[in-house]
A and B are shown apart, each in its own frame.
Chain A
Amino acid sequence: MNSSESKLLDRRQFLKLSTGSTAALVLGFCWPLSGKDSVSGEDGIFVPNAYLEIHANNTVTVIMPRSEMGQKIYTALPQIVAEELEADWSKIKVLQGDLNQVYGSQTTGGSASVRTQYDRLREAGATAKAMLIQAAAITLNVPVSECHAESGYVHHLSKDRKLNYGSLVALANTLPVPKNVTLKDPKAFRIIGKDHKSLDGGGKVDGSIKFGYDFELPEMLTAVVARIPKYGGSIDTFDATEALKVPGVTKIAPISAGVAVLAENSWAALQGRKKLVVKWNDGSHAKINSKKISEDLHVALEQEGTIIRSDGDADKALETASRQIDLTFEVPYLDHAPQEPNNCTAHIHNGICEIWVPTQSPGAAWWAAKSVTQFDDENIKVHTLRMGGAFGRKLQSDYVRDAVEVAQLTKLPVKVIRTRTEDLKNGFYRPSSVHQVKVGLDRNKKPISWIHKLSGPQDGWAPIITGGADELAYDIANQKVSCVMTAQPIPIGAWRSVAHTQNAFVHESMIDEVARKTGRDPLVFRRELLKNRPRHLGVLNLVEKHSKWGKPLKDTRARGLAVHYSFNSYVAIVIEISEAKKGINVERVTAAIDCGTVINPDGVRAQVEGGVVMGLTAALYGEITIDRGEVKQTNFHNYRLLKMDKMPEINIHIVESTEPPTGVGEPPVPPTPPALINAIAALTGKRILRLPLKSQLA
């Protein structure tokens, strides 16, 4: 933990967190302590970073600094704490932490929860364990060195003497926090690395788990917003006469994003929306369409780009090359389409703005509420709710802004829900981009020059387009990567694996094409160019073995390969496809991942399965298109997701590693589309340059 985070510690914030845990011993860290060095100092409580409550009834509550959206950190993060605490796993409970500066960044994204929280959660557990052991030693009047902790008890050498953690709470509360603690040798791990079942799995099968969409407060209203349909548009006039006749509709009023319909229940709000008549002004982008955006991106490639990687002299090397291979790739906008559409509940009361929101970024939600209300900081309260999927979409806070603006229209709490259509049409999309790649080969068919120029829409954060483009792993001496950004009115945002989705497609399609054009096996060719990249080789070797790469297939079948590094992890994918009446069938996916130390192997497998499905969906169907200034896709019939009947068999292999843990949620996505496209090239000889595949083979 760095000092800038430590100095944010504030006792009052922490006391708020621990409300209701009167019999709890709250433990934390001992980083710069500002004069306080005990759990129960003169003010009765020690205020460090706080991830743990140990209760007199032996329950151990792990407080989650990040949000749950299906990536299973509600299980993985507690495993880390419980390991060092020597906790009884059956006594572990999870509590979502609200927005609180004691945790530092609470944004859940970048496949970062485990890898960034690993060390501090281990220390949290180890510190607590040390204090419990000390409390037990005092109680038993024995030296600390004669005690050890195991499964929720402190044991003394004499076998019949042991004390459970709950019995030690009061005394441990009075003890100084050790400045240094010893972490376990990973070889002794008994919780980390095991397939523990999800702590919240039961609630997901009986309907009891509440998502944001299920949140409810007494007297709460429900609202929907008729959002301005065209980019740059505005409200001209609206007629609420018929809408207000719908029983249950209580109010209709404009907000900045459109016209809000407030009602006593969801159906009334939806019916009111249907009866609402709004005349929209077209605005500045009413004629924009996907064709025009694509043309803009192609034209942009003629401009000088900003150099983002330059090794050697790629232009000169290309001039001297014996052979040059050029391809231009294009990918579309994509929506996240989590199963739970965006929603947010807000209540403005007594000068306080309180919001309850399924979000990946409670901090961004807080800022949205702040910017709308201009209330004092302490009067804005954010409660993080469980997400029904997010994939990057719930990093945004447009829906929070809607809810806070709607809450300003009523004294009652109000839940603002989006329909699927409003959700799809008001996305922050994975950007569309165009990529021109030139590869030069020497006389021995070795690549000596790689020139990649990409163009995409601008949002002020270049990595949303360039991420991964500057990290080509292959050993090519001369490389030039440059980027041109163009202004487009379509909102863009991070979509599971961000720019790696497009750049992995480009890298892995191109390198595969070079292998093919020069008559080399795509796996052998990659291996030659990765000989100094042991962890890339590790996943390649694993996927080679398990996919039976190289073993002949029937003429109607073929395999494709891709390997990619992102979020500090390495993933290789082999996809086997077969000919179908129209196009292809995806038969089998073999994946290998190296994500360092694995906290929960089954959780890793689940994320790889999900990432592969998301990658396949994008490659086969995924496309948001714009026509006359608005998004055309309106629901799952025209924004298709992979269904059960198209689901391939997926086999997953995890590299055994003692390296620190790295990302898992996103890394399986990027190599999936190119592995599929490379299989199509192997089967048909046709190089797909533009995603999605849709009917390109028909």
Chain B
Amino acid sequence: MTLFTFTLNGKKQTVDAAPETPLLWVLRDTLKLTGTKYSCGQGLCGSCTVHVDGKPRKSCNLPISKVAGKTVLTIEGLGERGLHPVQKAWIEDEVAQCGYCQPGQIMTAVALLDKNTHPTDSDIEAAMKGVLCRCGTYQRIKKAIHTAAEEA
């Protein structure tokens, strides 16, 4: 086991973990931040997406050793000081069905809007196609991203 320090949701965080442990399991099991979801475990579905140094990353196949010294934002941290416009839009447009993949959808959408304040439909499709939703909420996700872009 090794100590790793990184910034998590704005605060310094040190964890003791085997270096290859994926960030996902450090968040969920060690730090009890279960908003980030396990679904495929192989970086194929995006339910586990968090931000690492501001970029969307799939945490299920990202070893904690590669996170040391970096800045991580999870769904719990996103709205800590009041809901983010994307979260508000998600509620406004009633996006979620079961809700399981939505933290990954929201984190991916936030990263898109951070670099592209007014994305087109095809920008959204390109950015979001790596995050699967079995409930089929894609139409509303697209709409909510536009809503958030307008209201931000």
Query: Which residues of chain A have a CB within 8 Å of any CB of chain B?
Result: 69-72, 195, 197-198, 200-211, 213-214, 216, 222, 247, 265-267, 270, 337-341, 387-391, 417, 419-421, 602, 606, 609-614, 617, 635-637, 641-645, 647, 649-650
| With contact pairs A204-B102, A205-B106 given, residues A389 and B135 touching in the complex (Cβ less than 8 Å) | yes
Residues B106 and A602 in contact, CB atoms below 8 Å apart = no
A155 to B134 Cα, complex, angstroms: 47
A residues in contact with B1, CB < 8 Å: 247
Q: Contact at A222–B29, with CB atoms within 8 Å?
A: yes
Which residue in A266, A340, A390, A391 is a CB contact (below 8 Å) of B25?
A: A266
The minimal Cβ–Cβ distance linking A325 to chain B, given in whole angstroms, is 34
Taking a contact as CB atoms closer than 8 A, the residue among B44, B97, B124, B142 that contacts A606 in the complex is B97
Residues in chain A near residue B45, CB distance under 8 A? 339, 420, 636
Tell me which residues across on chain A come within 8 A of B53, comparing CB atoms: none
Assess whether A206 is in contact with B39, with CB atoms less than 8 Å apart: no
Cross-chain contact of A204 among B96, B134, B136 (Cβ < 8 A): B96
- B141 in the interface (beta carbon within 8 A): yes
Residue of B nearest to A336 (CB): B134
Q: Which A residues are in CB contact (< 8 Å) with B141?
A: 644
Nearest opposing residue in chain A for B76, CB measure: A207
> Is there contact, CB below 8 Å, between A339 and B32?
no
CA distance A151 to B75 in the complex (A): 35
B138/A201 in contact, CB under 8 A: no
A201-B96, A206-B76, A341-B38 known; 15 other A-B pairs, CB under 8 Å? Answer: A70-B96, A70-B97, A197-B94, A206-B35, A210-B34, A214-B34, A339-B37, A339-B135, A388-B37, A389-B97, A602-B94, A609-B136, A636-B44, A642-B138, A643-B132
Within the complex, what minimum Cβ distance (angstroms) separates A202 from chain B?
6
Contact of A644 among B91, B131, B134 (CB under 8 A): B131
Given the known interface contacts A207-B33, A266-B29, A636-B45, the answer about A338 and B98 at a Cβ–Cβ threshold of 8 Å is yes
List of 6 A-B pairs having minimum Cβ-Cβ separation, nearest first: A207-B35, A613-B136, A388-B100, A70-B98, A204-B99, A70-B97
Contact with A along B84-107 (1 / 0, CB 8 A): 000100110010111111110010
Which A residues are in CB contact (< 8 Å) with B39?
Answer: 339-341, 420
A206 contact from B29, B75, B139, Cβ within 8 A: B75
When A339-B132, A609-B140 are in contact, do A420 and B76 touch as well, CB less than 8 Å?
no
Contacts of A650 in B (CB 8 A): 139
**A614-B78 Cα distance, complex, nearest whole Å:** 30
> Which residues of A are found within 8 Å of B37, using beta-carbon distances?
211, 213, 339-340, 388
Establish whether residues A340 and B18, one from each chain, have CB atoms under 8 Å apart when the complex forms: no
Q: Which residues of B contact A610 (CB under 8 A)?
A: 97, 135-137
Chain B nearest Cβ from A652, distance in angstroms? 10
Inter-chain CA distance A72–B74, complex, in Å, is 25
Assess whether A645 is in contact with B129, with CB atoms less than 8 Å apart.
Answer: yes
Determine the distance from Cα of A69 to Cα of B100 in the docked complex, in whole angstroms. Answer: 10
Cα distance A425–B102 in the bound complex, in angstroms? 25
- A-B contacts, 17 listed (Cβ < 8 Å): A198-B96, A200-B99, A201-B90, A202-B91, A216-B32, A247-B18, A266-B29, A338-B134, A340-B98, A391-B134, A606-B97, A609-B140, A613-B135, A637-B44, A643-B129, A644-B138, A644-B142
Inter-chain contact A266/B139, CB cutoff 8 Å: no
A635-B44 CB under 8 A given contacts A339-B133, A387-B98, A388-B98: yes
CB distance from B101 to the nearest CB of A (A): 5
